[in-house]
Amino acid sequence: MRKNILITGASSGLGEGMAREFAAKGCNLALCARRLEPMQSLKAELEAANPGIKVFIRELDVCDYPQVFEVFKAFREDLGSLDRVIVNAGMGKGASFGTGYFEANRKTAETNFVGALAQCEAALEIFRAQNSGHLVTISSISAVRGMPRAINIYAATKAGLRTMTEGIRADLLGTPIKASCILPGFILTPINSDLKKAPMRVDLKTGCKALVKAIEREPAEAKVPAWPWVPVALAMKYLPLSVVAKMT
110 secondary structure, DSSP code:
I
Q: What is the mean pLDDT of residues 142-146?
A: 90
Please give the pLDDT value at position 165: 98
Per-residue pLDDT at 199 exceeds 90 = no
Answer whether 90's CB lies under 8 Å from 56's CB.
no
Write the CATH number for 164.
Answer: 3.40.50.720
The dihedral through the CA atoms of 238, 240, 241, 244 has a sign that is negative
Locate the DSSP E strands across 94-231. Answer: 133-138, 177-184, 221-224
pLDDT digits (tens, 9 = 90+) for 160-172: 999 999 999 999 9
- pLDDT over 90, % of the chain: 78
Residue ranges making up the domain that contains 190: 4-245
Cβ neighbors of 224 (< 8 A, separation 6 or more) are: 182, 183, 184, 185, 207, 210, 211, 214
Please give the pLDDT value at position 148: 86
Note if 101 is an active site residue. no
**Local structure of 8: helix, strand or coil:** strand
Cβ neighbors of 12 (< 8 A, separation 6 or more) are: 33, 35, 38, 189, 190
Please give the pLDDT value at position 161: 98
Please give the pLDDT value at position 241: 83
Please give the pLDDT value at position 197: 54
Per-residue pLDDT at 146 exceeds 80 = yes
Per-residue pLDDT at 198 exceeds 60 = no
Per-residue pLDDT at 200 exceeds 80 = no
112 secondary structure, DSSP code:
I
Per-residue pLDDT at 246 exceeds 90 = no
pLDDT digits (tens, 9 = 90+) for 62-89: 999 999 999 999 999 999 999 999 999 9
Q: What is the mean pLDDT of residues 191-204?
A: 63
Task: Tell me the pTM.
Answer: 0.93
Per-residue pLDDT at 244 exceeds 90 = no
Could you say which of 65, 101, 154, 238 is catalytic? 154
For the chain, the domain total comes to 1
Q: Is the bond preceding residue 225 a cis peptide, omega within 30 degrees?
A: yes
Per-residue pLDDT at 190 exceeds 70 = no
- pLDDT over 70, % of the chain: 95
pLDDT digits (tens, 9 = 90+) for 207-227: 999 999 999 999 999 999 888
